[in-house]
């Protein structure tokens, strides 16, 4: 059922409410009081009267006029260069679904799913009946024994939810194989730390999901008093679980992989599951074969779940499942539930207004059925000559990294040799796969709108297909040539378990990349991103994986200690920054992305040094344009808890590490953009 939930969540991508609810919770702080720079990305902070001085705040000086001209688009939580690329992708994908039906089987699946999402007559006629059937089944559970039987005997597509995540994943220590995995549980507030002390943003999240849950429960037939009790029971149960779950900060810290890599034998797994039917669910309900080893990501959570899995807590457990099901599935039901889900999601994100159905549902299909959409997207929008040009630039950047590794004075010859081996083993996925053979959905079928099909049935068919694919893959070695994300996703990433970088087709568009860009713009924008992704092979996370993608040490003990010391210095650097007075950053989660930003620019500066008449001013201004952003307040809180530094810091904190930048603009001691050499934190 978790796979169904992930599909349903993808359908409710956007929503609307704005910041009024947040503003009512507490008196707003002075957002212009940041250290050493205010959060210029927050909507309303920069005004016509805001003074600019390139030597004091480069991001503000370069982007002020653009920030003032930006308007956050309806239905979205932020605006800027990256958002413009995302909006272009949304329009491109939408236009693919507004024409005639495609002829190929896979593309037709995507088209049919889109039509089923758009079929409000059918969705409204069905209403909440599918969800009501699920909630009734849970309500009928009167004993703990019956609850256990529910998890073991009910087909996964008919279950309303789960108490913990189970399935398969790539083995961290042996990247060539899959391993059965037992994860943590879901919380409405997301971060387990919110259950210890509710933050201002946590207050927004709780209010939004509580409102959605109440509306959904009443629509399912509960009185307001019953609905309120169920919501209270859900939060009570989550409060029991939360202390045993890693916080968001812990999940994003560099030691996360080491903390979750806990291998249990089958005997140990049977003992650890206690009263919980985890092995039975994996084998009888989901269909995975019995295994000799299991990855238990959070053993303390499993222990806690056993403690609270009691007859006394049965009402809380039932209501936890029902509330989560109501919240997660709202977007896949009738129009009223869908709009409630939209309002909730965007209350959390800080958007205003509502996107048109075509945009929302085409984007949802491109997420849910990513690969059936991918080939048609590439044929329509992505050019071979761009793939060739970007591929050549990646080779140039990889070559420049040899110089960066050679000059890293904290590496011994032994560690440096291992690092170069890893660098030389990095593979690249550029825009789209060279072959589509691995991505077929020929085995998936569901009834179309014309054939009387329903969205709910289609989603169940898709979830069952995805599970079948997962089970089939589990029995084989990991195919490291298979892309993890389709090319219409607006993203780039490095995968430490395959040692590959991926520059996806939808990202290399518009203000990030176009074929007419000068070298200066190209290197500052897409080049900087590529250098960033390559650096992840050697950041605080990537450094834990070898050239084969296995989580094994390839450092000497002394070199790794020096590396960690550099990371600690970077943590302190960001901990001493504040987007506004009283608001901290979490430097411990930012080192990987910040390290990558700095290494990416360092790499491009090495390449620039070999280019005659290279215009550094154009280069630095273009880099500032990449991270041009205007955020809602809620989006600012999302970014505070993100592993990436805020966009204005990705500009200022990155550039102040380099003499080329400081010298070009005559920035010296006493200027806000100056950072003394001994205080710089670039690791590579």
Mean pLDDT of all residues in 398-419: 97
Task: Look at residue 10 and tell me whether its pLDDT is greater than 70.
Answer: no
Task: Look at residue 494 and tell me whether its pLDDT is greater than 50.
Answer: yes
pLDDT digits (tens, 9 = 90+) for 233-276: 999 999 999 999 999 999 998 899 999 999 999 999 999 999 99
Q: Can you give the pLDDT at residue 404?
A: 97
CB 314 within 8 A of CB 147: yes
Backbone dihedral angles phi then psi of residue 180, each to the nearest 5 degrees: -70, 135
pTM, entire model: 0.91
Nearest to 501 by CA among 477, 536, 525: 536
Q: Can you give the pLDDT at residue 25?
A: 46
Helical (H) or strand (E) element with 293? strand 293-296
Task: Look at residue 24 and tell me whether its pLDDT is greater than 80.
Answer: no
Task: Look at residue 6 and tell me whether its pLDDT is greater than 50.
Answer: no
- Alpha-helical (H) ranges within 154-275 are 200-219, 224-241, 248-252, 256-260, 266-273
> What mean pLDDT, rounded, does the chain reach?
94
Q: Can you give the pLDDT at residue 18?
A: 33
pLDDT digits (tens, 9 = 90+) for 348-365: 999 999 999 999 999 999
Q: Can you give the pLDDT at residue 27?
A: 67
330 DSSP 8-state letter: G
C-alpha pair distances (Å), 140 with each of 114, 135, 164, 329, 663:
35, 9, 21, 20, 73
Q: Can you give the pLDDT at residue 83?
A: 97
Task: Look at residue 56 and tell me whether its pLDDT is greater than 70.
Answer: yes
Buried b (16+ CB within 10 A) or exposed e, 125-151: ebebebbeebbeebeebeebeebbebb
Task: Look at residue 20 and tell me whether its pLDDT is greater than 70.
Answer: no
Q: Beta strand 166-170 with 178-182: parallel, antiparallel or unpaired? A: antiparallel
CB 531 within 8 A of CB 398: no
Give the CA angle between residues 335, 338, 339 to the nearest 5°.
90
Three state DSSP letters for 39-93: CCCECCCCCCCCCCCCCCCHHHHHHHHHHHHCCCCCCCCEEEHHHHHHHHHHHHH
Domains parsed from the chain with CATH numbers: 128-332 (1.10.1380.10)
* % of the chain exceeding 90 in pLDDT: 94
CB 507 within 8 A of CB 492: yes
Task: Look at residue 280 and tell me whether its pLDDT is greater than 90.
Answer: yes
Of the two residues 254 and 61, the one the predictor is more confident about is 61
pLDDT digits (tens, 9 = 90+) for 604-640: 999 999 999 999 999 999 999 999 999 999 999 999 9
The structure tokens listed for 421 are 């081996």
Helical (H) or strand (E) element with 521? helix 519-522
**Beta partners for residue 42, in sequence order:** 631
Question: Rounded to whole angstroms, how far apart are CA atoms 76 and 64?
Answer: 21
pLDDT digits (tens, 9 = 90+) for 205-222: 999 999 999 999 999 999
CB 195 within 8 A of CB 238: yes
CB 488 within 8 A of CB 377: yes
CB 351 within 8 A of CB 632: yes
Render 115-158 in DSSP notation, one character per residue. HHHH-HHHHHHHTTHHHHHHHHHHHT--SHHHHHHHHHHS-GGG
Task: Look at residue 21 and tell me whether its pLDDT is greater than 60.
Answer: no
Nearest to 138 by CA among 328, 321, 327, 5: 321
pLDDT digits (tens, 9 = 90+) for 533-565: 999 999 989 999 999 999 999 999 999 999 999
The structure tokens listed for 112 are 């049919």
135 — pLDDT class (breaks 50, 70, 90):
very high
Neighbours of 87 (CB within 10 A): 16
Helix (H, G, I), strand (E, B), or coil: what is residue 489?
Answer: coil
Question: Rounded to whole angstroms, how far apart are CA atoms 430 and 426?
Answer: 13
Give the number of residues written for the chain: 684
pLDDT digits (tens, 9 = 90+) for 582-609: 999 999 999 999 999 999 999 999 999 9
């Amino acid at each position: 059922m978790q796979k169904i939930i992930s599909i349903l969540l993808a359908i409710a991508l956007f929503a609307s409410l704005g910041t009024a609810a947040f503003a009512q919770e507490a008196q707003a702080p002075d957002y212009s009081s940041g250290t050493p720079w205010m959060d210029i990305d927050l909507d309303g902070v920069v005004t016509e009267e805001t003074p600019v001085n390139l030597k004091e705040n480069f991001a503000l000086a370069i982007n002020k006029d653009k920030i003032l001209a930006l308007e956050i688009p309806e239905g979205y939580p932020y605006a800027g260069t990256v958002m413009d690329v995302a909006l272009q992708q949304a329009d491109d994908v939408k236009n693919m679904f507004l024409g005639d039906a495609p002829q190929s089987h896979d593309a037709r699946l995507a088209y049919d799913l889109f039509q089923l999402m758009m079929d409000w007559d059918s969705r409204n006629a069905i209403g909440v009946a599918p969800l009501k059937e699920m909630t009734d089944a849970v309500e009928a559970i009167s004993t703990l024994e019956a609850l256990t039987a529910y998890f073991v005997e009910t087909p996964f597509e008919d279950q309303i939810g789960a108490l913990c995540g189970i399935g398969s994943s790539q083995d961290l220590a042996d990247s060539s194989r899959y391993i059965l995995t037992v994860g943590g549980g879901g919380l409405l507030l997301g971060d387990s730390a919110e259950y210890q002390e509710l933050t201002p943003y946590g207050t927004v999240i709780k209010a939004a999901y509580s409102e959605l849950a109440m509306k959904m429960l009443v629509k399912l037939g509960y009185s307001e008093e019953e609905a309120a009790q169920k919501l209270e029971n859900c939060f009570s149960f989550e409060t029991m679980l939360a202390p045993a779950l890693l916080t968001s900060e812990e999940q994003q810290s560099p030691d996360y992989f080491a903390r979750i890599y806990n291998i249990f034998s089958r005997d140990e797994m049977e003992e650890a599951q206690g009263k919980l039917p985890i092995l039975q669910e994996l084998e009888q309900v989901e269909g995975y074969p019995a295994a000799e080893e299991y990855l238990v990501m959070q053993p303390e959570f499993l222990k806690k779940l056993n403690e609270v899995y009691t007859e006394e807590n049965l009402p809380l457990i039932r209501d936890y499942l029902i509330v989560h099901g109501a919240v997660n599935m709202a977007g896949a039901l009738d129009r009223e539930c869908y709009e409630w889900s939209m309002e909730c999601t965007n209350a959390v994100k800080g958007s205003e207004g509502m996107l048109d159905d075509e945009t929302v549902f085409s984007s949802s299909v491109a997420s849910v059925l990513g690969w059936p959409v991918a080939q048609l997207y590439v044929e329509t929008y992505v050019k071979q000559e761009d793939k060739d040009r970007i591929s050549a630039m990646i080779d140039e950047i990889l070559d420049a990294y040899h110089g960066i590794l050679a000059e890293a004075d904290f590496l011994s010859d032994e560690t440096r040799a291992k690092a170069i081996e890893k660098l030389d083993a990095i593979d690249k996925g550029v825009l789209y796969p060279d072959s589509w053979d691995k991505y077929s959905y020929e085995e998936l079928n569901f009834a179309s709108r014309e054939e009387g099909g329903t969205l709910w049935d289609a989603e169940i068919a898709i979830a069952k297909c995805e599970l079948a694919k997962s089970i089939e893959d589990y029995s084989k070695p990991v195919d490291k040539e298979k892309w993890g994300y389709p090319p219409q996703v607006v993203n780039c990433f490095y995968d430490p378990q395959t040692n590959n970088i991926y520059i996806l087709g939808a990202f290399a568009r518009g203000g990030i990349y176009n074929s007419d860009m000068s070298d200066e713009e190209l290197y500052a924008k897409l080049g900087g991103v590529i250098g960033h992704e390559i650096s992840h092979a050697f950041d605080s996370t990537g450094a834990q994986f070898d050239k084969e993608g296995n989580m094994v040490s390839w450092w000497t003990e002394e070199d790794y200690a020096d590396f960690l010391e550099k990371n600690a210095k970077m943590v302190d650097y960001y901990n001493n920054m504040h987007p506004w007075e009283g608001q901290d950053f979490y430097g411990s989660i930012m080192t990987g992305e910040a390290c990558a930003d700095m290494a990416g620019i360092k790499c491009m500066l090495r390449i620039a040094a070999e280019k005659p008449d290279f215009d550094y001013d154009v280069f630095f201004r273009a880099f500032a344009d990449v991270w041009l952003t205007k955020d809602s307040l809620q989006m600012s809180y999302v970014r505070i808890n993100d592993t990436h530094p805020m966009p204005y810091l990705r500009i200022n904190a990155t550039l102040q590490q380099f003499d080329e930048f400081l010298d070009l603009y005559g920035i010296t001691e006493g200027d806000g953009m100056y950072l003394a050499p001994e205080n710089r934190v670039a690791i590579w």
